[in-house]
């Protein structure tokens, strides 16, 4: 255990979460088993080893899927409110363990401790939502064209749902899917990121204890650990009707093709290339707050991170100067220290991608306004700490068109009315999050209209990052079109069935067809 880990109570957090130096990676109900190679988790905070997790083999996977299917056959018969009661108890455990789990998220992933706590709070919030939902899985009643008939539709559980999550939100995205899927009556198999395996094991252990206490069938919550090969077991498995995958566009296309080939369903939440349009009527102070947090929060490793700032030429210099000045106040360092704003990138591969982006933008003609680079010296021994950078760029640059998962913010101008800013914002293949800063009602409404933002999320006078549980989360175009979390996102975890009941002694046919015997 490193000095940083000791000083900030990581050892106690691991103990509270029932994590050991070596952990079994596959879990079914309350049983844990795995036979693959050991995956060692290193913290980007200080480069120290946190622990090891045993990976899932194909033989392990087969046991998991068989157990999950058997469990589903019973779990689907439980009344939805009874399933919701189990989720409520799981939520109570999350509340009890919020501090240690939030601390582990921060230490294993590298986001600030406050963001780690915030991520666990998202888990708590979606469980609250799911418990209420368990009494509201409603269908519709329709009028039949045939006398003496009644039509309605209802929703049934899908079966075994596969969830593939990414390192940047190692626990929240899993809970967005599973809390809803559980109350809908599905079993869930989760492949967490190999970069944050301990948080996955911690969540599974919490769920396993609650499920065992309530005699939940084995297999309703199962965990797989390992690299992309483990995810391929799920994407190619006909026994999994839905695969929910969060990650890069490249990964999403692979998942989508594999699932579609077997006519399964996929829920994809992929990359973002999010922009804030800043109009002449913008509140500059709020613009700076929203843009800076959006660009540097989680060290730029959110799918909703602000990548582009599209500023009207009449206020461009004013906004640019304010943003550059704000970057001078950013404190970079140990994310467990709440005096720091920005922690490290997840690993050195991410550092290389960040450095390559800064090199590419200059090669394509851009100008770096706030210099980036890797920090060295005391406190930065992991080699994953970088300086948030700002560059002037054009929207058509190849590097700008691609998502850089790091703290690089591109500034660009637009002229004329807000439609020109919208052309720049929409002029990328991704369509996740977007925002406009304006006090002009007409500009705001234009931004939100059918001719406005083409993203799944469109905000007025707040930034691009962050989302509330009550709304459906996801994006359009190459972001994948999936929706998770609130609103009616629950419907993707169920199958719709239309029912017609004839309560007469006759059998009239639809559309007035005669077929007398």
DSSP string covering 472-485: EE--EETT-S--EE
Asked whether the beta carbons of 421 and 414 are under 8 A apart, the reply is: yes
Residue 30 has pLDDT above 70, yes or no: no
84, 248, 365, 392 from 397: Cα distances, Å = 49, 20, 8, 11
In three-state secondary structure terms, 219 is coil
Residue 180 has pLDDT above 80, yes or no: yes
Residue from 127, 184, 303, 384 carrying the catalytic annotation: 303
Average pLDDT over residues 150-171: 97
Partnered with residue 142 across adjacent β-strands are 151
Residue from 122, 269, 443, 484 carrying the catalytic annotation: 269
- Strand ranges in 12-95 using DSSP code E only, listed in sequence order: 22-23, 27-28, 31-32, 38-42, 49-54
| pLDDT, tens only, 220-277 | 999 999 999 999 999 999 999 999 999 999 999 999 999 999 999 999 999 999 999 9
- Based on its alpha-carbon atoms, the radius of gyration of the chain, rounded to whole angstroms, reads 25
Is 303 marked active-site?
yes
Strands 38-42 and 49-54: antiparallel
How far apart are alpha carbons 466 and 458 in whole angstroms? 12
| pLDDT, tens only, 492-509 | 999 999 999 999 999 888
How far apart are alpha carbons 266 and 163 in whole angstroms? 10
Residue 23 has pLDDT above 90, yes or no: no
Residue 34 has pLDDT above 80, yes or no: no
| pLDDT, tens only, 37-96 | 999 999 999 999 999 999 999 999 999 999 999 999 999 999 999 999 999 999 999 999
| pLDDT, tens only, 454-473 | 999 999 999 999 889 999 99
Residue 1 has pLDDT above 80, yes or no: no
How far apart are alpha carbons 112 and 273 in whole angstroms? 22
Is 299 marked active-site?
no
| pLDDT, tens only, 310-369 | 999 999 999 999 999 999 999 999 999 999 999 999 999 999 999 999 999 999 999 999
Residue 514 has pLDDT above 90, yes or no: no
| pLDDT, tens only, 409-418 | 999 999 999 9
Nearest to 296 by CA among 421, 406, 182: 406
Note the pLDDT of residue 29. 62
């Amino acid at each position: 255990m490193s000095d940083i880990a000791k000083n900030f109570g990581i050892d106690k957090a691991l103990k509270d979460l029932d994590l050991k130096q070596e952990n079994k990676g596959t879990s079914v109900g309350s049983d844990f088993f795995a036979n693959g190679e050991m995956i060692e988790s290193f913290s980007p905070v200080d480069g120290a080893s946190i622990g090891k997790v045993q990976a899932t083999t194909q033989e392990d996977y087969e046991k998991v899927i068989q157990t999950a299917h058997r469990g589903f056959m019973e779990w689907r018969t439980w009344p939805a409110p009874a399933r919701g009661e189990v989720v409520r108890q799981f939520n109570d455990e999350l509340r009890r363990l919020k501090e240690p789990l939030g601390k582990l998220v921060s230490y294993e992933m590298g986001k600030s401790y406050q963001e780690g706590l915030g991520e666990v709070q998202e888990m708590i919030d979606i469980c609250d939502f799911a418990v209420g939902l368990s009494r509201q899985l409603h269908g519709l009643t329709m009028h039949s064209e045939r006398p003496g008939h009644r039509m309605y539709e209802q929703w049934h559980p899908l079966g075994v749902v596969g969830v593939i999550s990414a390192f940047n939100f190692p626990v929240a995205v899993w809970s967005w899917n599973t809390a809803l899927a559980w109350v809908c009556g599905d079993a869930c198999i989760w492949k967490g990121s190999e970069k944050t395996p301990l948080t996955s094991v911690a969540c599974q252990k919490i769920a396993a204890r609650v499920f065992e206490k309530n005699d939940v069938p084995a297999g309703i919550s199962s965990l797989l650990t390992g690299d992309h090969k483990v995810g391929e077991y799920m994407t190619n498995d006909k026994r999994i009707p839905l695969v929910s995958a969060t990650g890069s566009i490249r990964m999403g296309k692979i998942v989508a093709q594999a699932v579609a080939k077997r006519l399964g369903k996929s829920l994809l939440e992929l990359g973002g290339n999010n922009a804030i349009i800043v109009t002449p009527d913008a509140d500059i102070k709020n613009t700076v707050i929203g843009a800076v947090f959006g660009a540097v929060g989680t060290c730029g490793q959110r799918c909703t991170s602000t990548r582009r700032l599209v500023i009207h030429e009449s206020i461009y210099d004013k906004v640019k100067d304010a943003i550059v000045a704000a970057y001078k106040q950013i404190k970079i360092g140990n994310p467990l220290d709440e005096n720091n704003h920005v922690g490290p990138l997840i690993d050195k591969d991410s550092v290389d991608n960040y450095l390559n982006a800064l090199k590419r933008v200059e090669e394509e003609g851009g100008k770096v306004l706030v210099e980036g680079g890797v920090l060295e010296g005391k406190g930065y021994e992991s080699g994953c700490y970088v300086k948030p950078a700002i560059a002037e760029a054009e929207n058509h640059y190849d590097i700008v068109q691609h998502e850089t998962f790091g703290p690089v913010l591109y500034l660009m101008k637009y002229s004329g009315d807000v439609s020109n800013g919208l052309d720049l914002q929409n002029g990328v293949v991704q369509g996740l999050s977007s925002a406009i800063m304006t006090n002009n009602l007409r500009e705001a409404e234009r931004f939100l209209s059918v001719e406005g933002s083409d993203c799944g999320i469109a905000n007025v006078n707040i930034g691009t990052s962050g989302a509330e549980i009550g709304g459906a989360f996801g994006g359009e175009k190459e972001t994948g079109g999936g929706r998770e979390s609130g609103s009616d996102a629950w419907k993707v975890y169920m199958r719709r069935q239309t029912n017609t009941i004839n309560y007469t002694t006759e059998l009239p046919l639809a559309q007035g067809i005669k077929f007398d015997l």
